Amino acid sequence: MIYHLVCVCKGRKEWFNNDVVAVLKETCVELQKRYEIHFLEIGTDQDHVHFLIQSVPMYSPTKISRTIKSITARQILKTIPTLKPKLWGGEFWSNGYYINTVGRTNSEMTIQKYIKNQGHNPKDYEQLHKNQLTFFI
């Protein structure tokens, strides 16, 4: 199964600088070794992160999200302790997340390109959704 997961920083604070992104990506590489969760793409903007993930069907989307959020938050706060006092209640991620399955054809490539370009070109978001919106009258 392939999933698109979006996690937002608590309070939409802009915490993703080069140091935090480096720890996040390093943690995801280590996470792959322990779980059957493989990161195909990771893209960060200043206040949120997009993951393109491949995992086994026995892991529910909720389990995947909880695992990623808990382990990455713990490692980021452990590696960068100066960040914790700035957070609301010491939590890195907001309570919610977005996760959806992704098809193996055009939608996978479109989502992968979108994630890869996070933080670079704001028009990518509009282009991604222009072709996928359907209106009913």
pLDDT at 127 over 70: no
Rounded distance, CA 34 to CA 11, Å? 30
Residue carrying the six token digits 């209106």 = 135
The rounded radius of gyration (Å) of the Cα atoms in the chain is 15
Q: How confident is the model at residue 128 (pLDDT cuts 50, 70, 90)?
A: very low
Please state which of the ranges 54-58, 71-75, 112-116, 128-132 shows the lowest mean pLDDT.
128-132
Rounded distance, CA 118 to CA 126, Å? 13
Percent of the chain clearing pLDDT 90 (strictly above): 53
Domains of the chain: 2-130 (3.30.70.1290)
